[in-house]
Structures are given as C-alpha cells and as structure tokens.
C-alpha cells in the first residue's frame, strides 16, 4: 500500500511545509458543530512543528463559493480559535489566497502556523480551484519546500489544492490520510464473516460504486434512509411523496433481482402521518425514518456481524423525531462486538450527536471521499504522491539517518 512517502520520511528542519488539510467543518450560527476533522489533523501539524519546520502553511476549502456573497459564510477564519486551542499556540490567518497579496501576507505574518483563507475563494476567478488550474497549483507550490496531503475528505476532488499543486513540489502523506487509507483497506480486506454493509442517506447514485464493489464480498446489505424508497418503488410499492432517485430505479430493480437474499429493506416507515407498513403508504405521505419493526429487523441482521461498514443515516436526522431509527441502529452497533467503520460527512455528525464518537473501530473524516475509496475510485492525489516518491526518492530522512 505505501508506495508513497509519509511525513516521517522527510527532513523538515528549517523547511516551509504546506499541509493540505480538510477543515470543511459544519458551522451553525458562527460556531463549529463538529470539530473531528480539525482534531484529527493536529497530529500531523504538531509533528511538523516538533521536527523543526520553519513554517507550517495550512490550506483547506470550506463549502462552495459561487458568488461574492458566499465568501462570508464560508470563511475559514471561524477555525482559528479552535485550532489555536488544540495547538496551544497562536495561528496567523492569511486573508488572501493568491498573487502578490498572498505572498505579502505570508511574509508579514509572525507565527509559525499560518491558515490560509478558503481555497475556493479562487473559484470566483474562473473556478481556478475546482477546475484544477495548473497555474494556480504551480503558484501555491512555490509557497513551500514540501507539501503534505492530509485532507482525506477532499481526496476525491481533482482541484488545484489537491492535485496540480502537488505535481510541482516534493510531497508525501500525513497521519490522518494515512490512517484513513489503512483502516479502510484493513476492514475491506479482512476475511471475517458475517460482513454487513449498512447504507442510508438520500441518493442511490452516491452509493452505486460502493454497492457494486462490495456486494459480492458482503453477507448482507441493509438499506435504510431515503435511498430505501428508490428500492421500494423499483419493487412496485407506492412510496407517496418520499424521496426517490428516479434515474436509478432500474439499477435497484436489477440488484434486487440478483441479490434478493442479501438485501434487507424496511418493513415499516415513519411518515409525516405516523408509522406505516410499506404496503400502506398513501399518496400524500412521505417516509422520513425507518419504523420500529424495521429497527428490530435490522438489529437481527446485525446481531452476529463481525465486520460492518456503515454509511448514511436511517432518516431525516435534522429533526429529532425522525432520528430515532439512526440512533437505535448506530447505538446497537456501538454496543456490539463487530468491527465497525462509520462513513464520514453527515453520518459522522450524527454519530457525534448521539454521543458515540469513541465507540467504533473507525469514524472516517471523509464523506464522499470515503464512498469513492470504498468504491475503488481513488483520487488522482494518490498517483501524484506515488510519482513524487519515484521522482524525489523514497525515505530520504530514514536513508540519511542510516548513513545512506
């Protein structure tokens, strides 16, 4: 697996180190509601500082910036207080994201750790970040001596800060991203059974690659959340006003035909009009959570599981009355003996809300990135890291320490 260098392979003493983190954290009323991604990045940042880095320049995106008004609500400035608290040191906030203004900001900053403003501010200039503009990537690469990729949650994005920048600088991987890869590969490559996949959330399209990649390896596929209604509609049930991914009805129908014995769907659901069995949903009703009988069914399917990969919630968790199914299923998994990998994004936030943060084998910091990796679709960053280890040589620091 390790065909690229880790941060431990570099001599960081006196170097300017760029670390591409993922600080795209949820914010409500100006406050961070889930700081897991920030907390998990601290090990890499501290390692660079403890090993003599002259400067540590942190880069991340936050949200989507499509117009000028989007900048204020997606500023990374909100991260600074928590970052300073975790590092126990001051952090300079760099307001500009490119050009001479950025270079001047960095030159005039006094502290060793510097957090750049949201890289997606550059999307206001011909989408330079999200379109992976090579000139922008090349410009950012000049800011440091070494670049470390630790933003696993953005690893599926071919953006200037996650792709082209790394092509123009010696680079390696940080502890957070390395742990993510190691944990995912370990649980998917084990041979313990029963192996159960739990899928929820809204869109079937987001999960197709994962399902296709793991359906033959798993013993049971449990499907809840809004995506279950696409499967139910594919089987001929009336799902009322429930969310349906109509473009993938045929995929669901074919999957059920081929793997009916492996797939477990809801028996009853909580609608806006109370609990209904799946054959009694009315035209004006919307399914918003799995029902009590389905909770029992899913728990039975999970009772003897040895490995579980769970991604997605069972209902509309933003409303407490529709979070019961998710709370029950993830609570059950937390108290089980199974090795459980929990997908990131909304799933990680829900688990955090349930007070279950430290109860699983691994909670991923990636949302879409985790799904892509589980689906066998690796972002270009990993090929770039591999290429860098060939171009610049691997284990430079270790070879030096060994007298090579």
157 catalytic per annotation: no
Of 16, 54, 331, 368, which residue is the catalytic one?
368
- Distance between alpha carbon 388 and the CA centroid of its chain, in Å? 24
Of 5, 15, 20, 37, which residue is the catalytic one?
37
274 catalytic per annotation: no
The torsion angle over the Cα atoms of residues 118, 122, 127 and 129, rounded to 10 degrees, is -60
Q: Do residues 307 and 270 lie in contact, with contact meaning Cβ atoms separated by under 8 Å? A: no
Give the separation between CA 43 and CA 180, rounded to whole angstroms. Answer: 14
345 catalytic per annotation: yes
- Distance between alpha carbon 86 and the CA centroid of its chain, in Å? 21
Of 153, 325, 343, 345, which residue is the catalytic one?
345
Half-sphere exposure of 331 (CA within 13 A, CB side): 11
Q: Do residues 16 and 144 lie in contact, with contact meaning Cβ atoms separated by under 8 Å? A: yes
The label of the residue with tokens 């089987």 reads 235
Task: Kindly list the strands in the beta sheet with 55-59, ordered across the sheet, starting from the edge strand earlier in the chain.
Answer: 91-94, 113-116, 55-59, 16-20, 146-149, 171-173
- 3-state secondary structure (DSSP) of residue 7: helix
316 catalytic per annotation: no
Residues annotated as catalytic (active site), given as ranges: 37, 203, 345, 368
């Amino acid at each position: 697996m390790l065909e690229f260098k880790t941060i431990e392979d570099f001599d960081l003493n006196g170097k300017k180190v760029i670390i591409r983190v993922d600080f795209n954290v949820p914010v409500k009323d100006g406050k961070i509601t889930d700081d897991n991604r920030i907390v998990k990045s601290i090990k890499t940042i501290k390692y660079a500082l403890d090993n003599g880095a002259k400067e540590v320049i942190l880069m991340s995106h936050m949200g989507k910036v499509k117009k000028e008004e989007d900048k204020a609500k997606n500023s990374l400035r909100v991260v600074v207080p928590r970052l300073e608290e975790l590092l126990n040191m001051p952090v300079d906030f760099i307001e500009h994201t490119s050009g001479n203004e950025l270079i001047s900001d960095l030159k005039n900053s006094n502290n060793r750790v510097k957090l750049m403003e949201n890289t997606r501010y550059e999307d206001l200039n011909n989408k330079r970040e999200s379109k992976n503009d090579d000139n922008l990537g090349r410009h950012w690469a000049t800011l440091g001596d070494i670049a470390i990729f630790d933003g696993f949650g953005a690893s599926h994005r071919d953006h200037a800060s996650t792709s082209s920048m790394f092509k123009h600088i010696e680079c390696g991987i940080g502890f957070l991203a390395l742990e993510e890869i190691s944990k995912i590969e370990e649980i998917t490559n084990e041979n313990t059974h029963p192996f159960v996949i739990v899928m929820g959330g809204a869109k079937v399209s987001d999960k197709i690659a994962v399902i296709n990649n793991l359906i033959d390896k798993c013993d049971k596929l449990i499907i809840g959340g809004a995506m279950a209604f696409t499967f139910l509609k594919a089987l001929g049930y009336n799902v009322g006003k429930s969310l349906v991914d109509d473009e993938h009805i045929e995929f669901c129908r074919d999957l059920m035909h081929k793997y009916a014995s492996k797939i477990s769907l809801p028996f009853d659901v909580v609608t806006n009009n109370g609990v209904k069995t799946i054959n009694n949903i009315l035209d004006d009703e919307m399914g918003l959570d799995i029902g009590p009988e389905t909770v029992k069914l899913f728990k039975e399917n999970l009772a003897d599981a040895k490995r579980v990969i769970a991604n997605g919630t069972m209902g509309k968790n933003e409303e407490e009355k529709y979070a019961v199914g998710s709370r029950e299923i993830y609570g059950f998994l937390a108290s089980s003996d199974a090795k459980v990998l929990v997908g990131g994004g909304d799933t990680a936030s829900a688990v955090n809300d349930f007070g279950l943060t430290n109860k699983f084998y691994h909670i991923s910091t990636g949302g879409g990135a985790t799904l892509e990796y589980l689906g066998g679709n690796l972002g270009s960053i990993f090929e770039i890291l591999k290429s860098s280890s060939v171009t610049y040589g691997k284990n430079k620091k270790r070879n030096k320490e060994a007298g090579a």
